[in-house]
């Protein structure tokens, strides 16, 4: 390693420590005792380290501790409020990543578990395994801006078999006032918190689990937030007077209305290059804010024309199809952010069972992901600055000519 490479490594280490210190300073006041503040910083540092498994024992070993009891205390009995730390996280996202073009994404992921004791665990469908499995489901709100993509809020989904069994909830530490809430309700709660923290965004997007909900779409239009929401083919649309105001599935509605024109557009870059699809859109009648328009937008696979995805879209009239396609493509970026949070920040590598433990670990994992995103952003800024300085600084020959008066300034 040469002198320049050593210097760059040292600069990276300084940035890394600086980001961690800055973020920890924002949340430190949420911990009642100094040893818990230090423990929280050590936990974040461990989540950011390249450790194979980021469970209590391996985090303790990496930190040079004999056992994980201190971390277990942090996630269970220590006095601090995970929701207050989440509020700090939302404020940090606004300060560090906010952009008026940002896209907010609602998504969920499964945490495969054994047994029946872990809070919220039940046989339920998880996209993580692609089938029904014994797992917990976490609903997340993500922020995708030009400065990076992060998960900024979280809720755990409790199925009826949990909320109907108060003894089971009591054993897992679920607050007594918690009642059954659908994933859609959890998503709206997180959107309300986002608005309360004044995070700017240009769009909201989500898959068909959320897009099919009329109340969510209504919530977004009432707050003048454009959206691109996937919907299932059977999602109902009311026809006009000529059709007797009949309700039909979005697939049938589009088949009747579509003129037959498709556009080949990329929904962003994937691991194998641009994600090309064929897209079509059609205006629809709907109650929208002044100056806005509603559309049905359809995505079709290039290799299998029967593989289609329908979207409800509501946005200002001047919106282009390419803009809508770009927003729809942000869902893949957020799926990647979830996978990075699991692989790099230990999002799914916890050994807690309780309500409190889940929220505390997951919240700190999201804080760690923000640290990592800030580090990347600072590194990119430093590289861009260095490249600009190299391009703008005169060469030694140019300097020689200037000194000898051989060039005109």
Rg (CA), the chain: 25
For 314-331, give one letter per residue: b (16+ CB within 10 A) or e.
bbeeebeeebbbbbbbbb
pLDDT tens, 264-306?
A: 999 988 878 899 999 999 999 888 999 999 999 999 999 999 9
Three-state secondary-structure class, residue 406: coil
For 364-373, give one letter per residue: b (16+ CB within 10 A) or e.
bbbbbbbbbb
pLDDT tens, 26-64?
A: 999 999 899 999 999 999 999 998 888 888 888 888 888
Is 241 a residue whose pLDDT tops 60? no
> How much of the chain, in percent, has pLDDT values that exceed 90?
71
- Confidence class for position 10, pLDDT limits 50, 70, 90: low
What φ, ψ does residue 407 adopt, rounded to 5°?
-130, 155
Which residues contact residue 32 at a Cβ distance below 8 angstroms, ignoring those fewer than 6 apart? 78, 79, 80
pLDDT tens, 299-338?
A: 999 999 999 999 999 999 999 999 999 999 999 888 888 9
Is 210 a residue whose pLDDT tops 90? yes
Residue 251 pLDDT: 94
Measured CA to CA, the distance from residue 239 to residue 171 in angstroms comes to: 51
For 138-175, give one letter per residue: b (16+ CB within 10 A) or e.
bbbbbbbbebbbbbbbbbbbbeeebbeeeebbeebbbe
CA atoms within 13 A on the CB side of 137: 23
Three-state secondary-structure class, residue 126: strand
pLDDT tens, 193-208?
A: 999 999 999 999 999 9
Residue 272 pLDDT: 82
What's the pTM value of the predicted model, to 2 decimals?
0.88
C-alpha separations of 49 from 89, 224, 357, 368, 372 in Å: 20, 41, 21, 10, 10
More confident residue, 401 or 222: 222
Tokens at 299, concatenated = 């995505």
pLDDT tens, 380-390?
A: 766 655 655 55
pLDDT tens, 92-130?
A: 999 999 999 999 999 999 999 999 999 999 999 988 778
3-state helix, strand, coil in the chain (%, to 5): 45, 20, 30
User: What average pLDDT does the structure give for the chain?
Assistant: 89
Residue 409 pLDDT: 46
pLDDT tens, 331-378?
A: 988 888 899 999 999 999 998 999 999 999 999 999 999 999 998 887
Is 392 a residue whose pLDDT tops 70? no
């Amino acid at each position: 390693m040469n002198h320049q490479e050593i210097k760059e490594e040292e600069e990276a280490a300084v940035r890394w420590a600086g980001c961690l210190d800055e973020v920890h300073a924002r949340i430190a006041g949420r911990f009642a005792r100094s040893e818990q503040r230090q423990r929280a910083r050590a936990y974040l540092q461990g989540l950011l380290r390249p450790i194979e498994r980021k469970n209590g024992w391996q985090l303790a070993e990496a930190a040079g501790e004999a056992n994980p009891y201190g971390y277990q205390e942090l996630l269970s009995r220590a006095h601090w409020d995970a929701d207050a730390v989440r509020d700090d996280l939302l404020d940090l996202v606004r300060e560090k990543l906010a952009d008026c073009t940002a896209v907010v994404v609602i998504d969920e992921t499964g945490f495969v578990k054994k047994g029946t004791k872990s809070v919220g665990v039940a046989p339920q469908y998880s996209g993580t395994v692609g089938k029904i499995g014994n797992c917990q489901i976490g609903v997340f709100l993500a922020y995708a801006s030009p400065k990076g993509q992060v998960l900024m809020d979280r809720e755990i989904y409790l199925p009826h078999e949990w909320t109907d069994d108060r003894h089971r909830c009591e054993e897992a530490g679920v607050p007594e006032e918690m009642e059954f809430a659908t994933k859609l309700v959890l998503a709206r709660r997180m959107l309300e918190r986002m608005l309360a923290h004044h995070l700017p965004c240009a769009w909201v997007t989500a898959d068909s689990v959320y897009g099919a909900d009329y109340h969510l779409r209504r919530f977004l239009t009432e707050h003048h937030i454009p959206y691109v929401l996937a919907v299932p083919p059977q999602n109902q649309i009311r026809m006009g007077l000529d059709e007797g105001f009949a309700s039909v599935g979005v697939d049938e509605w589009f088949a009747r209305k579509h003129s037959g024109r498709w556009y080949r557009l990329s929904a962003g870059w994937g691991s194998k290059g641009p994600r090309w699809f064929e897209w079509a859109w059609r205006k629809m009648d709907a109650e929208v804010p002044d100056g806005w328009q509603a559309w049905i937008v359809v995505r079709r696979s290039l290799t299998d024309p029967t593989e289609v995805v329908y979207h409800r879209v509501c946005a200002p009239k001047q919106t282009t199809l390419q803009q809508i396609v770009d927003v729809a493509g942000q869902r893949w970026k957020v799926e990647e952010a979830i996978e990075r949070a699991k692989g790099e920040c230990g999002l799914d590598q916890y050994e807690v069972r309780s309500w409190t433990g889940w929220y505390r670990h997951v919240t700190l994992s999201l804080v760690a992901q923000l640290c990592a995103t800030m580090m990347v952003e600072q590194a990119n800024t430093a590289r861009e600055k260095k490249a600009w300085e190299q391009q703008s600084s005169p060469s030694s020959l140019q300097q020689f000519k200037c000194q000898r008066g051989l060039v005109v300034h």
